[in-house]
Structures are given as structure tokens and as C-alpha cells.
Amino acid sequence: MQRRSFLKGAGGVAVLLAGGGVWYAYEQGVFSVGRGPAFEPWNNWQESADSPLALVRAAILAASPHNTQPWLFKVTDSSIDLYLDPTRYPGALDPYLREEHIGMGCALENMLLAAPANGYAASATLLPAQLTAASGYPRPELVARVTLVPGPRNRSDLYNAIPQRRTNRNPYRLSALPDNFVDETRHIAQDETNATIFLFTAGDDRIRLVDMISMADNGVYADPQVEQGSLPWIRLKWADVQKFKDGLIIDEFGESQFTAAMRKTLPLSAARFALRHKLLPVTSYREILEATPLFGVIAVRDRYDREQCLTAGRIWQRAHLFATVNGVAGRPVNEAVELIDHQRWLKQEPDAFNALQDVIGDHTWQPTFMFRLGYPVRQVAHSPRRSMQDVMI
């Protein structure tokens, strides 16, 4: 996948270091991984304890597809309104803002987990709507309201895992996950009427999904409009990471610290050239997919129903936190669902939709989010996050 593809090899690093590249490496954050203003929200997330602002601090650490962080918050003493910022999306990669709404659901789940930890009983109201193109949202859109009243204090394991959760793009070990973990993950959505989880651990199923995701990845990113929309969310300059506090960064691309450092020390023009021309990474995306003991699909009744998108996001956040508690890594692998959006947007035959429904084996459900879980070969850095001040209205 283009956004994962950078120039490989150590020769360029040696040249840079010989020519004063140590200074450039410093400027590119080689020696300050996970530090700076863009990463402070992970450290101060429990400030503002026992106030609604504590829930916002937890929310901004939620999973966010493409790390666009499209959330805005309006806070009173008794409620928090959650708004979607329609300008923060990766263009043609997410033409209906479906994945952005899923990210909003992740933020909502973190708020609801943080409420009892800070002495609140919380209830969420999701505002109904059908998803439309970004142009259909001329201004920030209210998608949910969390109402707060005093309640018993309780810190759950999922709440405690919020600052430890990371999107781990490394290869995973093919070691089977414990049966009880798989069963509990499968039942995370058991109380939902319009959402469910399908899990796949058998070899044939996993190979079929690897083929499907790999083909979808190539198909979606063959569209220049998709590349045009997604490239701005890849932060190659460390100064941009600290300035914008969002997007995908080299340190979390699932490579060793040495390889990440090599990539950072490439001149910016070379890094952009490698990205644009899809030069192979050290480990290909297909190889990463093949090293996956468990694939999951979150499905809903209507993929473009806003409430169901938010619910899907809540389920993914819950599943990812549960995995974190159990020492299991996770990451989205959404290309096959993105291809469904892509074909619908271009008014093409729904081949991707039909194929994915065949995989889950129940045509009453519509896949909307796909993920992989496993024991990682190594840990990964946190992603940059906008501060609470950046997301308040």
C-alpha cells in the first residue's frame, strides 16, 4: 500500500550521516520518538479529573481511521456534545465519511468508559441520519450527546487500557490466540441489535481474506484521487508532526526502530518519491497480512446509517482495548470495505460488497470495519494527538 511504502536500504543513511546528517536526523525526530507537543495528550490524559473535561481527554486518545481525528467537543457541566468536523477526512478514500463516523464512535466509547472513572453516570444519544458526501456537511455536524449525572465511581480494565492502546502495524506471530480470548471478543457486540462481529481463525478463511484485502488495496489505491486525498495525511516531516498533531507517521508504520530511523533520514524529496512510486517496504503489506492469526469483521444492518456507524466504532474501540488488556495487538485492515465505498461512489458493480458478504456467510449483515489481531513481533510508538484545546468549540 502506498502510504506504507518507502525507500529501503541503509546506503542513503550512511551518506547523510557522513555529510552532516546527524543534524538532519535530529530535526526529523530520530532521537525523540514519541516526544513533543504532539504526544503530550498520552501523558496528561488524566488531568481534569472528576470533571467533564476528563472525558474529552480520554476521547482524543481513541482510535481514528487515518488518524484524521475529526472530532470536536462542546462541554457543559452536565453534557458533552460530539461534533464531526467534515473537513478532516482523506478525500476519495472515504467518500461518505463512513470511516470518520466510525472514528467518532471510538471517541464516544472512550468517553463512556471514562465517565464512571470520574464519578459520572453517562448516557449517550445518537442522532439519526444517513451518510452523505462531505459536501453535505457545510459545517461541523452534531452526531451524539453524552448526558452526565453524578454516579458511582468505577475504573474498569478497559478504561485503564486507554493510554496503552496503539495501532500496531507490525507483523504478528502466527501463534493461535487463546480460545477464551477469541470467544470474549466475539461476544463484545452481543447486546447490540444492529451490529455484530465475525471472527476468522481457520487457515482457509485467513488466506481468502488476505487475498481479498491485498487485491482491494491495489484496486483502491490505483485511483489517483484516492492517492491525492490520502497523501496529505502522511506526515513525513517531524516539524509537521508537531505542528498538526495528526496523520500517519513513520514511527508507527510497523518497522524496526533502525529501519524507521533510516527512512526519517531520507531527504524529503526522496521520501515523497518513494511514497508516490510505491517502492517496496522492508516487509510487504501482504506478508504482514499473512502473519495474522485472527481477522475480524464488524458488520451492521446498514453501512450508511450514522447511528450504526457510531455503534461500529464503539465496538472496535472496545475490542481494541480488550485486546490491549490481554497483551494482544490490533490494527484496521479496511481496504476491502473501502473498495465497497469506492465502487459505490463510481457507480460500479458491487463486486467487493458481494465478495465480502460471501465471506461472512450471512447476507443480512453488511461489513463496515475489518481488523486483525495477534501477538506483535515488536511494540510501536503512539500516534500524534491534537490537544484538548485544539478540539473544543
For the cut 90, the answer to whether the pLDDT of residue 278 exceeds it is no
* Residue 263 resides in a domain: no
Distance of alpha carbon 220 from the chain centroid: 18
At 274 the pLDDT is 64
Rounded to whole angstroms, what are the CA distances from 154 to 125, 314, 317?
22, 19, 19
For the cut 80, the answer to whether the pLDDT of residue 138 exceeds it is yes
For the cut 50, the answer to whether the pLDDT of residue 323 exceeds it is yes
**Percent of the chain scoring above 90 in pLDDT:** 81
At 12 the pLDDT is 43
Distance CA 46, CA 354 (A): 45
What is the DSSP code (8-state) at residue 389? G
* Residue 149 resides in a domain: yes
The CATH number of whichever domain residue 135 belongs to comes to: 3.40.109.10
For the cut 80, the answer to whether the pLDDT of residue 21 exceeds it is no
* Residue 105 resides in a domain: yes
At 280 the pLDDT is 45
Question: 77 lies in which domain range?
Answer: 48-54+62-154
At 14 the pLDDT is 43
User: At 17, is the pLDDT very low, low, confident or very high (cuts 50, 70, 90)?
Assistant: very low
At 4 the pLDDT is 40
At 267 the pLDDT is 78
> Nine-digit cell at 358?
460471501
Nearest to 161 by CA among 328, 386, 376, 373: 328
Q: For 63-78, b where at least 16 C-beta lie within 10 A, e where not — what string?
A: bbbbbbbbbbbebeee
For the cut 80, the answer to whether the pLDDT of residue 191 exceeds it is yes
* CB contact at 8 A, 381 and 328: no
For residues 32-43, give the mean pLDDT. 94
Rounded to whole angstroms, what are the CA distances from 274 to 4, 28, 235, 239, 268?
10, 17, 14, 20, 10
* Residue 120 resides in a domain: yes
For the cut 90, the answer to whether the pLDDT of residue 328 exceeds it is yes
Lowest mean pLDDT among 128-137, 210-219, 261-270: 261-270
More confident residue, 301 or 16: 301
At 281 the pLDDT is 58
For residues 142-148, give the mean pLDDT. 98
User: At 31, is the pLDDT very low, low, confident or very high (cuts 50, 70, 90)?
Assistant: confident
| Grid cell 516539524 in the structure block, residue | 239
Q: CB-based burial of residue 139 (10 Å sphere; 0-12 exposed, 13-18 middle, 19+ buried)?
A: exposed
For the cut 90, the answer to whether the pLDDT of residue 233 exceeds it is yes
pLDDT digits (tens, 9 = 90+) for 88-122: 999 999 999 999 999 999 999 999 999 999 999 99
3-state secondary structure of 74: strand
* CB contact at 8 A, 56 and 86: no
More confident residue, 135 or 114: 114
314-316-320-325 Cα dihedral, nearest 10 degrees:
50
* Residue 130 resides in a domain: yes
For the cut 50, the answer to whether the pLDDT of residue 61 exceeds it is yes
Q: For 170-209, b where at least 16 C-beta lie within 10 A, e where not — what string?
A: bbbeeeebeeebbeebeebbeebeebbbbbbbeeeebebb
* Residue 146 resides in a domain: yes
First to last CA, the chain: 36
For residues 126-144, give the mean pLDDT. 95
Q: CB-based burial of residue 80 (10 Å sphere; 0-12 exposed, 13-18 middle, 19+ buried)?
A: buried
More confident residue, 16 or 22: 22
Model pTM above 0.85: yes
pLDDT digits (tens, 9 = 90+) for 330-354: 999 999 999 999 999 999 999 999 9
Overall number of domains in the chain:
1
The per-residue pLDDT of the chain, averaged, comes to 91
At 268 the pLDDT is 74
* Residue 24 resides in a domain: no
Q: Where are the alpha helices (DSSP H) in the chain?
A: 11-18, 21-27, 40-43, 52-59, 98-117, 157-160, 179-186, 203-220, 224-230, 238-244, 257-264, 268-276, 285-290, 306-325, 335-345, 351-360
Rounded to whole angstroms, what are the CA distances from 121 to 105, 147, 187?
18, 8, 24
At 279 the pLDDT is 57
For residues 55-78, give the mean pLDDT. 98
* Residue 314 resides in a domain: no
3-state secondary structure of 361: coil
